[in-house]
Amino acid sequence: MSEFSDDFGLAYIDSCDQLTVLCIHGFPFSSAMWEPQVEDLSGVARVIAPDLRGHGRSEAAPGPYSMGMLAEDCAGLLDYLGIENPVVVCGLSMGGYVAFEFYRRYPERVAGLILASTRAKPDSDEGKAGRDAAIEKAKTQGVTAVAADMLPKLFSPQTYDEDSELVEFVEEMMEGTSLEGMTGALQAMKDRPDSTPTLAEIDVPTLIIHGADDQIIPLTEARAMQAAIKDAELIVIPDAGHLPNLEQIDAFSDAVIDFVDSLTEDDHDHDHDDHEH
Ligand code: MLT
Segment 158-168 shows an average pLDDT of 98
Reply yes or no on whether the pLDDT at 54 is more than 50. Answer: yes
All residues at 6 or more sequence positions from 162 whose CB lies less than 8 Å from its CB, including other chains: none
| Ligand 1 pocket, residue 94 CB under 6 Å | yes
Looking at the CA of residue 242, tell me the nearest atom of ligand 1.
Answer: 2
At 117-150, the pLDDT tens digits run 999 999 999 999 999 999 999 999 999 999 999 9
| Res 15 pLDDT > 80 | no
Taking every pair of Cα atoms in the chain, the longest distance, rounded to a whole number of angstroms, is 66
Q: What would the pLDDT profile of 199-233 be if each residue is shown by its tens digit?
A: 999 999 999 999 999 999 999 999 999 999 999 99
Helix axes 143-150, 179-190, angle to 10 degrees: 60
User: What is the CA(73)–ligand 1 centre distance, in A?
Assistant: 19
Q: Which helix (H) or strand (E) holds 175?
A: helix 164-175
The helix, strand and coil proportions of the chain, stated in percent and rounded to the nearest 5, come to: 55, 15, 35
Quick check: CB of 189 below 6 Å from ligand 1? yes
151 lines ligand 1 (CB under 6 A): no
Q: Is 24 in the pocket of ligand 1 (CB under 6 A)?
A: no
Which residues does 222 contact at the CB level (< 8 Å), separation at least 6?
Answer: 115, 118, 119, 208, 209, 210, 234, 236
